[in-house]
Structure 1
């Protein structure tokens, strides 16, 4: 229920915002978003399904809106908030800017913390060993360590023990080399809370701080990792949490990646051989009476797995592969592989459970004071490596052995030629659709959920996103949907131009035609961004126009020539000097690139960003839709292109006073039947269509 206390708290923070910010302009869309989120989370629309999906354009102030609405609801109901983002940049904005600002505005006490995965923290014991504190240093280095590496490790250890560093890789003042970091990184088996020497490890300290915080900032990947562990393991339990997914349009892809698995055949046989040689040594540290059963199970399964995987690698013929890939159509396996997969599922599961049990028994002896931590730690670090490998192998064969589904999309299954080892094959499995999983693990369990992004809709509809994310659009399920336009005067601030083009992008002459036409659409003494759909075409055009641009005194920078940071720094300098700056970029420049004011006044999109279903998962998804009488181009390709096009066009206006022009050099947006839908989903700029 939206109580008076919650309403007053929201009102107070909004009033304080007006007082704190100079030139504050009240935004109707922001007010509306705050109100709708608060009403949804208080059960005004649906008693149990408290969920809102909101597309909020640039300039609305969505992050401050969801903080103002959600924190009072959570604090007054003793709930936790998990804010999940897709990018580090947004996490930094929330931690360094938005949350400290909101804290000054509100009358509610709350704490917040940034949650990171275990791999971002060092282990105190490993760091001590690597420094030679206990004489165990040399064993940790594969080759003789360099003096500078030892000195760096010793400096880090001193800083950690003196409380000057928190053990977080990101907070160390200089980059830490990967080889050094892998020696000291926290791992879940040797660095766990049940071991007395590890209770003060950086990761354990960070976790205990996490338990105390009211607001936790994470990323989509960490949320999915926690969900896969059953929820409430890394982050608070879903049953006590309100989730805010910002940049929510990335969530379905992250969820799918988390549900996928891959393992090689000969490569797996190789590390299983090493495990086989270490079983007696490792299990010797556990209590003999209790460990012998698991040692026997592990030896038995590993000794069957090694020849089975080696033999299987001889069954596949690389000459049947296309571009290093062999895809099983409709996810169907040949009978022999189906049968082998079932056997491998049982063997890998048995091995995975046995190796984890041996680790538990060793840790128990340390905890009970029967075994020294110094002796156990190298063994637990080694066994931790094998636990991760066997868990992954078991996941691959569990999915390979999964029977054909009566309903819903099949699994995509394919083989790849190994890039690491000649003559080896990598077995890959991935789900096509993960909406049911998000519903099962998060939506059906959480207190409430807020999903926001600047580009949630495709072709003016939430349907595509909802299908991908497992969100119901039935009225009786009570999910709220909002689409809030940016506070721009589109008609007077920007123009969308579609010039008459001789060729469509598929035409062989199109690249040459681009080389001819681009200089005519670039604006002198202004900031220009030209977006391409392929690196190849971008580089061809850049090479052809480089000399002409130099003659015109136009500064050309091409994505990939140097870092994005360097490109943008030089771009700003050129514009400040009143010169012409031209940026050439591809897909990644169409999202997350912030060029306000004079830093972008002329945007040119060379082609509608249609994706080609080249990955095995995309091809399998298209195949599945076709098998059900659908049209993958209209059901997947066009909606995805619509989202990407909206993101690309969204680069132009970033602040309320920005202005400029967008030119689309793809006539299909006018001549094809799907073109009108794509055009209609773009902001209502003044339009000049020369057809």
Structure 2
């Protein structure tokens, strides 16, 4: 049961909130969400499985709800809160707006911090080494010889770091740091640890100190997955001491899938293994031959097995099997016999090589701590061995997954080969799970103190089933589910118009029809957003409409022609000046785009956002469902389209006083059997369905 002190703190917060905000309007749905979060965490619905899954429409105030419902409970019970988001924008909102506000209204002390992964920080020692006057030392770990501009930016970073003007955080550097440069100085778990003198004041170590003291930690889904894949409690607090608030929760399954995937090149890996082989003797000498001799032998022997195997696999691949995108996918995840045997060999060799290098690395580390070798020499060696350890870990993960036999139960792994975009005649081996729900349940939900999952879009076709299957929520009876409608007056403030068009989107002439039809629905509207299903179609339509736009003094702003930030800035300036402004965008403009008031009055969706299963993972998932007698279109495509369509129409009304029109140029919502379910899952707009 919820302790009376927690109830009192929540009530006090709410009273203080109404005093803090001049235009505060109590919202029934928000109050209900706060109460349900607190009761779920208090164990009132289930003593052990404390999980709430809440779809809360735009305007309810989700972030303030979970701060009100969760922080008093966590502080009273001495638990940590981890708020995980999918976007930087929401993180910034929480850190800069919502949490400072809550700090003012909450009667007790609490602290909060933004957490970032190790890869967002530089390693001071690597930075120093990369700027060394020794040219050989400078370039030893680069895949290609660095450009002068690369070395110049590194020198500027070193000066800024040493003078205290830069904290080593990639995001706080004033200009974009190229990936090839950042990879040379990024902190890594092998060579960057506080046991070594040069690393005691490193940027990541300082950030970790602050993290451990904070009550509320803001992270992204990628960092959350990185931590639990390591076992939990490595970067972030332990799951057993943590309440998880997963905002923008509909993104979590995809992030989890990405983290369980692996990829490595063939000839590229053989090349860096050759470089490692040339360094083995020197590293073993620093580790002390008496102790490291057998590890040196094991490492050299397994590198000698890996290099010809990787090159042989590359040479045995038949280019004729690749599709137009340069991908060859193995049906049902089953490898041909020859590759299955090669995979087993690469798995064993990469595992043994990783173990041997790990032992050499540890011995060098011990000798560095005991001052048996010069600190500068030891740390340079640890940087180098740490660099190769990371690469070997990835190589071992790839071949371990490739060699893994398909299980009798559950979905197989998707396995495919892709032509390398960077190296001619090289290939990338890639592996990905199809379903990650069981892994999320095992690593996260079953261990957490409590879990609150929220988003504006969690249901598909008015059901939570699709999301539960993706996210591994199997204890449905013990889980609390809420679907809270937005407070907006959709019926009176917005219309959904489905025009009487003679063609449906799959028709050959549909793009021509869009070119002819769109002007009718843009005429007389000051602020419009047109969402397309593909860049190709968007650009075709844009090119044909430019003369008309120029004639009518419309400003067309096309996604991809300038950065998203610049396009939206121009759109806002146009609207403020009373100019007709029209945004053309694809799927990424259907989520996270906030255009309140006069910034958007007219939303046109050219097509139901069905995703064509073109990626190897999507193709493999559809293949798996078909093999079990299912229908991938109804089981994957329609639920996904439902979610995306809800997100798309959600661009129109952002505040309670907003109004406007949605035009859907896809009559399949009327003509197809699944159409009614798609329509019924949308907000309750006034519907205008024109008859052909």
* TM-score, normalization by structure 1: 0.96
Give the corresponding residue for 1:217.
218
Give the corresponding residue for 2:142.
none
Deviation at 1:93, TM superposition (A): 0.7
- Give a deviation string over 1:496-524, Cα, whole Å, max 9, x none: 01011100101111111111110001142
Deviation at 1:473, TM superposition (A): 5.3
Deviation at 1:455, TM superposition (A): 0.5
Aligned counterpart in structure 2 of residue 333 of structure 1, from 335, 345, 357: 335
* C-alpha contact 1:130 1:138 (8 A) present in aligned 2: no
Give the corresponding residue for 1:466.
468
Deviation at 1:675, TM superposition (A): 0.2
Structure 1 residues 415 and 182, CA gap change in structure 2 (3 angstroms): closer
Runs (4+) of structure 1 moved beyond 3 Å? 126-132, 135-139, 141-151, 172-184
Structure 1 residues 138 and 396, CA gap change in structure 2 (3 angstroms): closer
- Give a deviation string over 1:249-268, Cα, whole Å, max 9, x none: 00000000001111122221
Is 1:441 matched with 2:407?
Answer: no
Give the corresponding residue for 1:383.
385
Between stretches 168-177 and 437-446, larger displacement belongs to 168-177
Deviation at 1:165, TM superposition (A): 3.6
- Give a deviation string over 1:14-38, Cα, whole Å, max 9, x none: 1111000011100011101100000
Give the corresponding residue for 1:92.
92
Q: CA RMSD in A?
A: 1.6
Give the corresponding residue for 2:253.
252
Give the corresponding residue for 1:615.
615
Deviation at 1:131, TM superposition (A): 5.4
Deviation at 1:434, TM superposition (A): 0.3
SS of residue in 1 equivalent to 2:297: helix
- Give a deviation string over 1:53-73, Cα, whole Å, max 9, x none: 111111111001001111111
Deviation at 1:186, TM superposition (A): 2.0
In structure 2, distance between residues paired with 1:228 and 1:377 = 28
SS of residue in 2 equivalent to 1:218: strand
In structure 1, distance between residues paired with 2:475 and 2:656 = 33
Give the corresponding residue for 1:510.
510
Give the corresponding residue for 1:30.
30
Structure 1 residues 136 and 313, CA gap change in structure 2 (3 angstroms): closer
* C-alpha contact 1:495 1:660 (8 A) present in aligned 2: yes
Aligned counterpart in structure 1 of residue 346 of structure 2, from 336, 344, 347: 344
Written as runs of structure 1 = structure 2, the 5 A alignment for 1:268-279 is 268-279=269-280
In structure 1, distance between residues paired with 2:277 and 2:643 = 50
SS of residue in 2 equivalent to 1:355: helix
* TM-score, normalization by structure 2: 0.96
SS of residue in 2 equivalent to 1:284: helix
Give the corresponding residue for 2:202.
201
In structure 2, distance between residues paired with 1:331 and 1:340 = 16
Structure 1 residues 316 and 181, CA gap change in structure 2 (3 angstroms): closer
Deviation at 1:427, TM superposition (A): 1.3
Between stretches 357-366 and 626-635, larger displacement belongs to 357-366
Unpaired runs of 5+ residues, structure 1, are: none
In structure 2, distance between residues paired with 1:488 and 1:166 = 44
Deviation at 1:420, TM superposition (A): 2.1
Written as runs of structure 1 = structure 2, the 5 A alignment for 1:169-318 is 169-178=170-179, 180-318=181-319
SS of residue in 2 equivalent to 1:32: helix
In structure 1, distance between residues paired with 2:350 and 2:257 = 23
In structure 2, distance between residues paired with 1:9 and 1:451 = 23
In structure 2, distance between residues paired with 1:320 and 1:124 = 46
SS of residue in 2 equivalent to 1:583: strand
Structure 1 residues 471 and 498, CA gap change in structure 2 (3 angstroms): same
Aligned counterpart in structure 1 of residue 422 of structure 2, from 412, 420, 423: 420
Between stretches 351-360 and 634-643, larger displacement belongs to 351-360
* C-alpha contact 2:131 2:138 (8 A) present in aligned 1: no
Between stretches 235-244 and 518-527, larger displacement belongs to 518-527
- Give a deviation string over 1:628-650, Cα, whole Å, max 9, x none: 00000000000000000000000
Deviation at 1:175, TM superposition (A): 4.0
In structure 2, distance between residues paired with 1:601 and 1:500 = 21
Give the corresponding residue for 1:168.
169
In structure 2, distance between residues paired with 1:316 and 1:152 = 45
- Give a deviation string over 1:266-299, Cα, whole Å, max 9, x none: 2211111111111111111113222112111111
Structure 1 residues 282 and 557, CA gap change in structure 2 (3 angstroms): same
- Give a deviation string over 1:374-421, Cα, whole Å, max 9, x none: 001222121112111111111111111111211110111111122222
* C-alpha contact 2:262 2:432 (8 A) present in aligned 1: yes
In structure 2, distance between residues paired with 1:468 and 1:251 = 9
* C-alpha contact 1:193 1:204 (8 A) present in aligned 2: yes
In structure 1, distance between residues paired with 2:674 and 2:208 = 50
Is 1:456 matched with 2:458?
Answer: yes
* C-alpha contact 1:82 1:218 (8 A) present in aligned 2: yes
In structure 1, distance between residues paired with 2:308 and 2:176 = 43
SS of residue in 2 equivalent to 1:513: helix
* C-alpha contact 2:497 2:688 (8 A) present in aligned 1: yes
In structure 1, distance between residues paired with 2:440 and 2:161 = 41
Between stretches 290-299 and 432-441, larger displacement belongs to 290-299
Structure 1 residues 149 and 681, CA gap change in structure 2 (3 angstroms): closer
Paired residues in the alignment total: 684
Is 1:153 matched with 2:151?
Answer: no
In structure 2, distance between residues paired with 1:144 and 1:320 = 37
- Give a deviation string over 1:177-219, Cα, whole Å, max 9, x none: 5555444332222221221221111110111111111111111
Give the corresponding residue for 1:41.
41
Unpaired runs of 5+ residues, structure 2, are: 140-144
Give the corresponding residue for 1:629.
629
SS of residue in 2 equivalent to 1:205: helix
Deviation at 1:139, TM superposition (A): 3.2
In structure 1, distance between residues paired with 2:37 and 2:153 = 51
* C-alpha contact 2:555 2:581 (8 A) present in aligned 1: yes
Written as runs of structure 1 = structure 2, the 5 A alignment for 1:389-428 is 389-428=391-430
- Give a deviation string over 1:590-618, Cα, whole Å, max 9, x none: 00000000000000000000000001110
* C-alpha contact 1:129 1:137 (8 A) present in aligned 2: no
Structure 1 residues 143 and 682, CA gap change in structure 2 (3 angstroms): closer
Give the corresponding residue for 1:554.
554
In structure 2, distance between residues paired with 1:621 and 1:413 = 11
In structure 1, distance between residues paired with 2:399 and 2:184 = 30
Structure 1 residues 473 and 519, CA gap change in structure 2 (3 angstroms): farther
Structure 1 residues 406 and 525, CA gap change in structure 2 (3 angstroms): closer
* C-alpha contact 2:81 2:217 (8 A) present in aligned 1: yes
* C-alpha contact 2:437 2:471 (8 A) present in aligned 1: yes
In structure 1, distance between residues paired with 2:439 and 2:146 = 45
